[in-house]
Amino acid sequence: MSTTLGADPVVEPGARRRAPGGGRLEAIAQAVVPVLLSVLASGVLLAILGRNPFSFYGAILDNGLLTGFGLQQSIVRMATLLLIAGGLIIAFRANLWNLGGDGQWLLASAFVAGFAPSVVNAIGGAVGLAAMLVLGAAVGAMWTVVPACLKAVYEVNEIITTLMMNFIGINLANILVKGPFLTELPGVPRTEILPLDQRLPRIGDTQIHVGILIAVGMMLLIHFVLTRTAIGLRLRVLASPEAARHVGVRPVRLTFMAFAASGALIGLSGAVSMLGDWGSFRADFNPAYGFLMVPLVFLARLNAVATIAFVALFAVIQIGGDTATRKADLPTDFILVLVGLLLFFMAITEFFRLRRAR
Amino acid sequence: MNNLLTEPVLTALIAGALLAMTPIMFAALGESISEQAGVLNVGLEGMMLFGAYAGFNGALYIHSSWAGLLCGALGGVVAASVMAVLCVRMRLDQIVIGVALFLFAEGVTSLLHGVQFGDEYPRIGNTGEIQVPLLHDLPVVGESVFSQHPIVYLGIALVFLVRWMLKKTSLGLSLRAAGETPTALDAAGVDVTRTRTVAVLSCGALAGIGGAYLAIVGAGSFTPLMTQGSGFIAIVLAMLARGKVVWVIVMSFVFGVSLSISTALQLARINVSTDVVQMLPYLTVIVVLVLFARRSYLPSALALPYFRGER
């Protein structure tokens, strides 16, 4: 399929921002307006439901940003989300629709959680943890080989294949946890728990582990590679196969590489999450982070640095919203309303910006 | 193994398969129409959830499964109209809006359910299955195939109707042109926006009926997030069917069997993990794709917004 989905990725995303009517102020308004609108709309909804919107949003800010514990939790969550977002950016830049992020993430998590306790015990902390991070990345990358092969060699649409591999990955992760990795712990089937002192090292006296450093470092690296190197340019050229052949880019090899890098980062995210915060994989665990990140990186116009800000916002909403909904006696799914509205308004704001630029 | 082919096991298998297949079939049929017209509807799962919620309430308060299914269709259309305005009229990105709609639907339906019923899950008394006269006395198929809610038979008939519509009518031609070469359709004097809107709204109605069936007939009640990925399964099926909608029936039946087989096997005292069974259909498709490498043909303007005068 030679279709270009969505915006034309060959165009440098930053270049558009400097289009007529551009400017730093407008870029900020562009980010703030949708947040305000979604907060307003959800606030009205809260008021209709008889909840006080101000105390609800206060609770989100309080528990996600302003208290030390909440802030630390948000930063920990950011590490997981950022690596997934980075993986998606690489694939989307090449116009490869990797919609199987959750399967890649869960399978990598299951493998890492299953092997980590014994491996870290056997070969010791730093080396063991590093090996586990590599394992996670490798599993994530492996899970993209089939879609990449079908796409590169036979032009089978990757949306279908990644979605199917996604379902297989989710089920396979469960099979692993209920089978080979099962422990005798009571309750939900789960892998053995990695002891707290053997997890990823924490920064200073906080709950924050080094995952955030890995994640931010990776995002900066991705940004550099995509915008400043020949590989980045080739990836963007890959978005249009004819142009790619014309300028001598080898589409088959590059498709494999882009898919593998995408899966590796998503797998790394799973590893960081297991080794840093969860410590164990439970059956039927699926936070669906991968799916949440798809529209997000798109609205950040596949810009890795801009994505950091968006992900920070989402992490605070997720962490703070968890407590806020419980306090307001609402289902936790209320946060999905807020997130859905935020995405709608972001897309609509983008629409008006593009129309003015036209 | 010889208690595998007994009557109760087979009956349970076929009945369960039909129950699991129907929501997927309706949703995949809707998605096929939408994809043929060039709109990749990632929000399908959200439309099913809206349909399930609206349908359940309709059936609960009007005391009729038919009224419930109608409400479900309306619920699906309401969700689809958001998609129609944002993706077809305003030409926003279909994947972004699709995911947003899905998340929003998950949140809103479970919020409404929570506010309405709290922690209770009221059930619908009469789920409206019928027994087809005479045929219902047959062994195995009588208790399964011929004891379903009439909407199941209507759904299968509808697939053939849509097949005829897509192939033989001018509306079908317009729909396919909107997905293949919208420029040509525009040049022929047909409104691309209107054609695609029709497709998205019918997709919403069908997905809504699928969701409503799931709540009313399948479960007899509404639980938050009850669609559990069937919308995404339907998207995959619609893409694999490549516009040949009769395949939708076949493939959703295969999925129905795989979703219900572990229950049937338990009746035969064979324990197979649901995780393994649920994985098999996807695994089969992937293996088939790898071995035979069929090109999965999709409409060439799929997921592309149409801007008049642009090439």
How far apart (Å, rounded) are the C-alpha atoms in residues A95 and A86?
14
Q: Which of A6, A174, A330 sits opposite B111 (nearest CB)?
A: A330
| A288 CA: distance to closest CA in chain B (Å) | 11
> If you ran DSSP here, which 8-state letter would residue A94 be given?
T
Q: Please identify which residue in the block is written with the tokens 């949708």.
A: A34
Torsion of CA B18, B23, B25, B31, to 10 degrees: -170
Q: HSE on the CB side for B213, CA within 13 Å?
A: 26
Q: Which CATH number fits domain A46-357: 1.10.10, 1.10.150, 1.10.730, 1.10.3470?
A: 1.10.3470
Domain ranges of chain B: 7-125+150-292
Phi, psi (rounded to 5 degrees) for A205: -100, 25
| Pairs of residues, one from chain A and one from chain B, whose beta carbons lie less than 8 Å apart | 159
Q: From its phi and psi, is residue B41 left (phi > 0), alpha (psi between -120 and 50) or beta?
A: beta
| Cβ partners under 8 Å of residue A129, min gap 6 | A116, A120, A200, A275
CA distance B180 to B298: 9
Sign of CA dihedral A204, A208, A212, A214: positive
* Closest C-alpha among B59, B33, B35, B31 to residue B45: B31
Q: Is the pLDDT of residue A230 over 80?
A: yes
Distance CA A65, CA A34 (A): 20
Q: Give the whole-number percent of chain A exceeding pLDDT 70.
A: 93
Residues of B in contact with A355 (CB under 8 A): none
Mean pLDDT score, A218-240: 90
- pLDDT tens readout for residues B216-240: 998 888 988 888 888 888 988 888 8
The third-level CATH classification (topology) of the domain covering B7-125+150-292 is ABC transporter involved in vitamin B12 uptake, BtuC (1.10.3470)
B272 and chain A in contact, CB less than 8 A: no
Asked if A213 is an interface residue toward chain B (Cβ–Cβ < 8 A), one would say no
pLDDT, tens digit, for every residue of A306-322?
A: 999 999 999 999 999 98
With residue B237 as reference, give the H or E element that holds it: helix B230-241
ipTM score of complex? 0.83
List pLDDT tens digits, range A104-153.
Answer: 999 999 999 999 999 988 887 789 999 999 999 999 999 999 999 988 88
Residue numbers of chain B with a pLDDT score lower than 70: 1-5, 126-128, 134, 136, 140-141, 292-298, 309-311
Please enumerate in sequence order all residues whose Cβ is within 8 A of that of A32, keeping only pairs 6 or more positions apart, or say none.
none
- Angle B274-292/B246-267 helices, nearest 10 degrees? 140
> Which chain B residue has its CA at the smallest distance from A7's CA?
B93
Of residues A297, A311, A287, the one with CA closest to residue A262: A297
Q: What are phi and psi of B220, to 5 degrees?
A: 75, 5
Helix B44-62 to helix B192-213 angle, to the nearest 10 degrees?
Answer: 50
**Which residue type is seen at A101?**
G
Q: Among all residues of chain A, which has the CA nearest to that of B287?
A: A146
CB-based contact, A241 to chain B, within 8 Å? no
3-state secondary structure A117-179: HHHHHHHCHHHHHHHHHHHHHHHHHHCCHHHHHHHHHHCCCHHHHHHHHHHHHHHHHHHHHHC
Contact B105, B49 (CB under 8 A): yes
Inter-chain CB proximity A333 and B273 less than 8 Å: no
> Which of B103, B239, B310 to mutate: most A Cβ within 10 Å?
B103
Best mutation site among A343, A356, A358 for testing chain B: the one with the most B CBs within 10 Å?
Answer: A343
- Closest in A146, A154, A171 to B275, CB measured: A171
* Sequence-ordered list of residues with C-beta below 8 angstroms from that of A259, at least 6 positions apart, any chain: A91, A96, A98, A144, A145, A147, A148, A151
| CA distance, residue A54 to nearest chain B CA (Å) | 19
* Helix segments in B144-191, DSSP class H: 150-168, 170-180, 182-187
Query: Does A287 lie at the interface with B, CB-CB under 8 angstroms?
Result: no
Q: B47 at the A interface (CB within 8 A)?
A: no
Report chain B's C-alpha Rg in angstroms: 20
**CA distance, residue B36 to nearest chain A CA (Å):** 15
Contact predicate B8/B137, CB 8 Å: no
The predicted structure's pLDDT at residue A185: 83
Q: Please indicate whether, in this complex, the C-beta atoms of A5 and B95 are within 8 angstroms of each other.
A: yes
Chain A interface mutation, best of B81, B88, B289, highest count of A Cβ atoms under 10 Å: B289
A296: CB partners within 8 A, 6+ apart? A85, A307, A310, A311, A314, A343
What is the rounded CA–CA span in Å between residue A112 and residue A132? 6
- B96-149 pLDDT, tens per residue? 899 899 989 999 998 889 888 877 788 887 666 777 776 767 776 677 777 788
Which residues, numbered 185 to 204 in chain B, qualify as contacts with chain A under a Cβ-Cβ cut-off of 8 Å?
none
pLDDT in tens, A22-70: 567 777 777 788 889 999 999 999 999 888 999 999 999 999 889 889 9
Q: Which residues of B touch A34 (CB under 8 A)?
A: none
Q: Does A357 touch chain B (CB under 8 A)?
A: no
Taking CA atoms, what residue in A is nearest to B241? A160
Q: Is B83 on the interface with A (CB under 8 A)?
A: no
Gap between the Cα atoms of A134 and A143, Å rounded: 14
* B92: nearest CB among A292, A330, A347: A347
Q: How far apart are CA B303 and CA A76, in angstroms?
A: 35
CA distance B167 to chain A (A): 23
Q: Is A153 on the interface with B (CB under 8 A)?
A: yes
| Orientation angle between helical segments B7-36 and B246-267, nearest 10 degrees | 150
